[in-house]
Amino acid sequence: MAGADSCRGTDRAGRRAEIGGVVSGHAIRVAWYRFRATFARRRGGYLSLVLLIGLVGGLAMAAVAAARRTQSSFPTYLASTNPSDLNFLSGLYDASGSASGYDSGYDPGLIRTVSHLPHVKRAESYVGLNLAPLGKNGAPTSIGTALVESSVDGEFFHQDRVTVTQGRLADPHRVNEADFSAEFFRNIGGHAFPAHGVAVPVGVYTNAQVSDPGYGTPSLQPHRRLTLRLVGVVKFDDTVVQDDVDANPFGRALFTPALTGPLLGCCVTDTATYLQLDHGSRDVAAVEAEIERVLPKGATPLFQLTSTIEAKTQQAIKPESIALGVFGGIAALAALLIAGQVIGRQIRRGSVEQSTLRALGAGPVATSGDVLLGMVGAVVVGSLLAGAVAVALSPLAPLGPVRTVYPFRGVAFDWTVLGIGVVVLVVALSALAVALGYRAAPHRVARRERRNDEQPSNAGRVVAAWGLPASMVAGLRFALEAGGGPRATPVRSAILGTGLALTVLISTVTFGASLDSLVSQPALYGWNWNYELTALGFGYGDMPQQPITQLLARDRAVAAWSGYYFGELQVDGRTEPIIGGSPHAPVGPPILSGHGFDAPNEVVLGGATLTALHKRLGDTVEVSNGVTTPTRLTIVGTATMPTVGQAGSVHPTMGTGALLSYGLIPASVRNPFHTPIAGPQAIFVRLRPGADPAGALHTLQRIAAASSVSADGTVSVLGVQRPAEIVNYRSMGTTPAFLGLGLAAGAVIALGLTLIASVRRRRRDLALLKTFGFTQRQLGAVVAWQSMTAVTIGTVVGVPLGIVVGRFLWDVFAREIHVVPVPTIPILSIALVTLGGLVLANVVAAVPGTIAARTRPALLLRAE
SS (H, E, C) 378-426: HHHHHHHHHHHHHHHHHHHCCCCHHHHCCCCCCCCCCHHHHHHHHHHHH
Q: Are 595 and 703 part of one and the same domain? A: yes
Q: Which of 264, 267, 265 is nearest to 225 (CA)?
A: 267
Instruction: Compute the distance between CA of residue 499 and CA of residue 512 in angstroms, rounded to an integer.
Output: 20
Q: What DSSP string describes 246-310? A: T--TT-EEEE-HHHHGGGTTTSEEEEEEEEEETTGGGGHHHHHHHHHHHSPTT---EEEEHHHHH
633 lies in a domain?
Answer: yes
C-beta neighbour count of 733 within 10 angstroms: 12
C-beta neighbour count of 492 within 10 angstroms: 11
Q: Are 709 and 729 part of one and the same domain? A: no
Q: What DSSP string describes 126-178? A: EEEE-EEEB-TTS-B-STTTSEEEEESSSBTTTBS--EEEEE-PPPTT-TTEE
Is beta strand 631-639 parallel, antiparallel or unpaired with respect to 620-624? antiparallel
Q: Are 281 and 352 part of one and the same domain? A: no
Per-residue b/e over 138-151, b at no fewer than 16 CB within 10 Å?
A: ebbbbeeebbbbbb
Residue where one domain finishes, among candidates 719, 747, 772: 719
Instruction: Compute the distance between CA of residue 316 and CA of residue 817 in angstroms, rounded to an integer.
Output: 9
Q: Are 115 and 203 part of one and the same domain? A: yes
87 lies in a domain?
Answer: no
155 lies in a domain?
Answer: yes
Q: Are 779 and 851 in contact (CB under 8 A)?
A: no
Q: Are 532 and 498 part of one and the same domain? A: no
Q: Are 576 and 569 in contact (CB under 8 A)?
A: yes
Q: What DSSP string describes 263-274? A: GTTTSEEEEEEE
Q: At what angle do helices 491-520 and 735-760 cross, to 10 degrees?
A: 160
Would you state the pLDDT for residue 490? Answer: 59
Give per-residue pLDDT as tens, 475-504. 777 777 765 544 555 566 667 777 877 887
14 lies in a domain?
Answer: no
Instruction: Compute the distance between CA of residue 81 and CA of residue 122 in angstroms, rounded to an integer.
Output: 15
Total residue count of the chain as it appears in this document: 864
What is the SS3 assignment for 633? strand
Would you state the pLDDT for residue 48? Answer: 82
Give per-residue pLDDT as tens, 53-68. 898 899 889 989 999 9
Is beta strand 658-661 parallel, antiparallel or unpaired with respect to 602-606? antiparallel
Instruction: Compute the distance between CA of residue 150 and CA of residue 448 in angstroms, rounded to an integer.
Output: 84
Q: At what angle do helices 415-439 and 306-349 cross, to 10 degrees?
A: 20
- Give Cβ neighbours of residue 272 (< 8 Å, ≥ 6 apart): 87, 88, 89, 90, 125, 126, 127, 128, 149, 155
Residue where one domain finishes, among candidates 452, 479, 510: 452
Residue where one domain finishes, among candidates 688, 719, 750: 719
149 lies in a domain?
Answer: yes
Calculate the alpha carbon distances from 780 to 65, 498, 766, 855 in Å.
46, 21, 10, 12
Per-residue b/e over 177-192, b at no fewer than 16 CB within 10 Å?
A: bbbbbbbbbebbebee
Q: Extract the residue ranges of the chain whose pLDDT is less than 70.
A: 1-39, 41, 91-104, 142-147, 190-192, 195, 298-300, 348-371, 438-465, 467, 482-494, 536-540, 648, 672-678, 709-713, 730-744, 746-748, 750-761, 763, 847-864
Q: Which of 355, 270, 357, 353 is nearest to 94 (CA)?
A: 270
- Name the domain count of the chain: 4
Is beta strand 268-277 parallel, antiparallel or unpaired with respect to 86-91? antiparallel
Instruction: Compute the distance between CA of residue 642 and CA of residue 565 in angstroms, rounded to an integer.
Output: 13
Would you state the pLDDT for residue 634? Answer: 95
7 lies in a domain?
Answer: no
Q: Are 566 and 708 part of one and the same domain? A: yes
Q: Are 440 and 484 part of one and the same domain? A: no
Q: Are 518 and 533 part of one and the same domain? A: no
Would you state the pLDDT for residue 177? Answer: 92
Paired residues of 574 in beta bridges: 571
Q: Are 823 and 807 in contact (CB under 8 A)?
A: yes
- Give Cβ neighbours of residue 750 (< 8 Å, ≥ 6 apart): 52, 56, 338, 341, 342, 497, 500, 501
Q: Are 545 and 635 part of one and the same domain? A: yes
Q: Are 537 and 616 part of one and the same domain? A: yes
276 lies in a domain?
Answer: yes
Per-residue b/e over 785-824, b at no fewer than 16 CB within 10 Å?
A: bbbbbbbbbbbebbbebbbebbbebbeebbebbbbbbebb
802 lies in a domain?
Answer: yes
Alpha helices of 683-775 — where are they, by DSSP H?
Answer: 693-707, 724-729, 735-760, 763-771
Q: Are 484 and 444 part of one and the same domain? A: no
Residue 207 host element (H or E): helix 207-210
Q: Are 472 and 442 part of one and the same domain? A: no
CA dihedral defined by 421, 427, 433, 434, rounded to 10 degrees?
180
Give per-residue pLDDT as tens, 96-124. 333 333 446 788 888 899 999 999 999 99
C-beta neighbour count of 84 within 10 angstroms: 22
Instruction: Compute the distance between CA of residue 682 and CA of residue 678 in angstroms, rounded to an integer.
Output: 12
Instruction: Compute the distance between CA of residue 264 and CA of residue 129 in angstroms, rounded to an integer.
Output: 9
Q: Which domain holds residue 621?
A: 528-719
